[in-house]
Amino acid sequence: MQITVTRQEQKRCGITARRDDGVTVSVPDYGRKRRLPHELAHYAVEGVLALDHGFWGRVASGAVFPGMQWLDGRRKPHASERSRSLVKTDPEAVEAECLVSAFEKIIDGRLDRDFARVDKFLKDAVHLGSRKARSLSHDGVAGVCRAWRELQSQWDAMRVGESLALTWPMRHDPSPAKREREGPTRKRGRVRVGD
Would you say residue 16 has pLDDT above 50?
yes
Whether residue 150 has pLDDT greater than 90: yes
Q: Could you tell me the CA-to-CA distances from 71 to 18, 23, 162, 168 in Å, in that order?
A: 9, 8, 20, 19
| Model pLDDT, residue 169 | 85
Q: Where are the domains of the chain?
A: 2-190
**Angle between helix 91-108 and 38-48 (nearest 10):** 110
Q: Mean pLDDT of all residues in the chain?
A: 78
Q: Is 81 or 68 the better-scoring residue by pLDDT?
A: 68
Question: 144 pLDDT exceeds 90?
Answer: yes
Q: What is the pLDDT of residue 73?
A: 81
Q: Which of 61-65, 108-112, 185-189 is least confident?
A: 185-189
* Residue range 103-140, pLDDT digits in tens: 988 898 888 888 878 877 777 766 654 344 456 788 88
Res. 57: pLDDT tops 60: yes
pTM of the model: 0.79
pLDDT, residue 99, reads 87
In this predicted structure, the answer to whether residue 142 has a pLDDT above a threshold of 80 is yes
Task: Determine the pLDDT at residue 126.
Answer: 67
* Percentage above 70 pLDDT, the chain: 71
pLDDT at 89 over 50: yes
Residue 32 three-state SS: coil
Q: Identify the residue with better confidence: 75 or 184.
A: 75
DSSP state of 10: S
Contacts 24+ apart (CB under 8 A), 9-15: 9/160, 10/160, 11/35, 11/37, 12/37, 13/37, 13/39, 13/40, 15/39
Rounded Cα distance between 173 and 181, Å, is 12
pLDDT recorded at residue 188: 33
